[in-house]
Structure 1
Amino acid sequence: MTDRFSHSQPSLSGPASAGFSVTPSDTTDLEEATRALYVGTGGDLSVVMLSGVTLLLNGVPDGSLLPLRVTRVRATGTTASEIVALA
């Protein structure tokens, strides 16, 4: 497989090159800070931003792609599911 961008530095405005499923937790950080979150099944989403601030996003719609730099998706306050972290 050829990757014509292999010599380019990734930027936050570029496409994600990795991803992983998210299990919300009040105590465990994600394996790495995100570039964005995908929410398959909508609902409320409680996150800890890279800055350390905790935010509650109410009523996130199904299939949302949120450009958020987060370190944790909290279980408390999160009703959304099928969450994927993009990095």
Structure 2
Amino acid sequence: MTNPFENRAPSLNGPATDLVPVTPSDSVDFADTAIALFIETGGTLSFVSVAGQSRTVTVGDGMIFPVGVSRVNATGTTATGIHAFTVA
């Protein structure tokens, strides 16, 4: 099978190069900043944006959350099945 991404530079214009499961943490940032999140089961999402701002929002089931995120906090997050879109 050929790989159409083989000679392509990662880009914020997409597509993401990986979808990584997220373990919420109040102190550990992602190894690679997320360009968006996928939420399997909705609820409250507490996160730190790439702008360094702490935010809390309500998200729905199956939602793609198109915000740059450096960390999902454990405290205040009830949403589950969170995955980070990355371009690393």
Same fold, judged at TM 0.5 (above)? yes
1:79 aligns with 2:78: yes
Once the two structures are TM-superposed, the CA of residue 6 in structure 1 deviates from its matched residue by 2.3
SS of alignment partner, residue 56 of structure 2: strand
Alignment partners' CA distance in 2, 1:51 and 1:3: 33
Q: Which residue of 2 aligns with 1:32?
A: 32
Alignment partners' CA distance in 2, 1:3 and 1:52: 35
Q: Which residue of 1 aligns with 2:22?
A: 22
Residue 20 and residue 5 in structure 1: after superposition, are their counterparts in 2 closer, same or farther (change >3 A)? Answer: closer
Give CA-to-partner distance per residue, 1:19-53, whole Å, 9 cap, x none: 21111110111121001100000001011011111
Alignment partners' CA distance in 1, 2:78 and 2:4: 40
Once the two structures are TM-superposed, the CA of residue 69 in structure 1 deviates from its matched residue by 1.1
Give CA-to-partner distance per residue, 1:41-73, whole Å, 9 cap, x none: 000101101111111112x11000111211100
Unaligned runs of 5+ in 1: none
Unaligned runs of 5+ in 2: none
Amino acid aligned to 1:85: A
